Amino acid sequence: MHSSLILGAASAALFSLAEGHGWLTGARVNGAGWTDGQNPNWYYITSPPATAGWKALNQDNGFVDPASFQTSNIDCHKSAVTNTQYVTANAGDTLTLYWNTWPDSHKGPIINYIAPVS
C-alpha cells in the first residue's frame, strides 16, 4: 500500500511537468523542397491552405488532460483532424521536421508519429 501511494504521488508530479506541446511548420526531404505544416494563425482565415500537418481548434500549447486520454483529443491535441496533403519520401531519404513554439524548459524527447499513406 505504501509503495502504491509513493508511485501515485510520483506519477502525479510527472504529469504536472508534461505540459509541452508544439506544432510543425513544415518539412523537407533530403534538404530540398518545402511542405507546409500547420500555422495557428490560419484558424482566423476563412479558407486555410491544405497542408500535411494536423489542424486543431485549440489555440494553446498546453497538455491534454488525463480525462481526455481515451478520446480523439490525444491523437494530436484538442479537436485535431488530419489534413489532405502529405510529404513524399522514399526509404533512406532524410526527413527534416521543423517545430515551432517549443518551450525552452522542455528537455525530454520529441516524438513525431509518421505513418505510410497509400
Question: Does residue 42 lie within any of the structural domains?
Answer: yes
**What CATH number should be reported for the domain holding residue 25?**
2.70.50.70
Per-residue pLDDT of the chain (118 residues; tens, 9 = 90+): 444 444 444 444 444 444 456 677 888 999 998 888 777 777 788 888 888 877 776 666 667 788 888 887 776 777 777 777 888 899 899 999 888 766 677 666 777 777 777 6
**3-class secondary structure, 67:** helix
Q: Is residue 2 part of a domain?
A: no
Q: Is residue 116 part of a domain?
A: no
Residue with the three cell numbers 510529404: 87
Q: Which domain holds residue 60?
A: 17-100
